[in-house]
Structures are given as C-alpha cells and as structure tokens.
C-alpha cells in the first residue's frame, strides 16, 4: 500500500486512480482489522481528492485552450 495521505500530492492521476481501485478492493473484501481499514479508508479519501483536483485542473486547462482559440474546437454533444 502507498504512503500517508500527505504523500498523494505528487501522484499522477493514473497512479492515484490505480491505487484507489486497489484500496477499494481491499476494503470490499472485508478482511482488514479496524485500524487497518480506517487507515486504508483515510488513504482512499486522500487519493480521491487528488484525482478530483487533477481532473478539475485538466478541465480548466481545456476551457482555457478552447477560449484562447489555439485551434481547439469545443466538444459539442449530438442532439
């Protein structure tokens, strides 16, 4: 398992998501002691927040590129 919740700030999105999926599997198995389950859950919350932060950054960057007219065409849903 990874490090403490404070250490997630350096993880790339894919690494954070992969680790989070592994933690969810461990928690769902239900065979962890209470303290270990709590620590695993805490790490999962930190990883979830890291993923959300990185997704928000990517969305802002896409919006900036679309507004700057640098050749990026905004996605339009089929209606």
Count H helices and E strands in the chain, helices first.
2, 0
pLDDT value for 67: 83
Chunked in runs of 10, what are the mean pLDDT values of the chain (79 residues)?
A: 70 96 96 96 96 95 80 62
**What is the DSSP secondary structure assignment for residue 4, as one 8-state letter?**
-
Helix (H) or strand (E) holding 46: helix 34-68
Q: Please give the CATH number for the structural domain made up of 5-68.
A: 1.10.287
The pTM of the full predicted model, rounded to 2 decimals, is 0.75
**Separation CA 22–CA 10 (nearest Å):** 18
pLDDT value for 75: 65
pLDDT value for 78: 65
CA dihedral 25, 30, 34, 36 (to 10 degrees): -30
pLDDT value for 4: 58
Residue spans per domain, the chain: 5-68
């Amino acid at each position: 398992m990874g490090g403490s919740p404070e250490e997630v700030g350096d993880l790339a999105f894919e690494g954070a998501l992969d680790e989070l999926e592994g933690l969810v599997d461990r928690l769902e198995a239900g065979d962890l002691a209470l303290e270990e389950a709590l620590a695993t859950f805490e790490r999962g919350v930190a990883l979830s927040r890291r993923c959300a932060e990185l997704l928000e950054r990517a969305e802002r960057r896409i919006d900036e590129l679309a507004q700057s007219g640098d050749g990026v065409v905004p996605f339009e849903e089929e209606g």
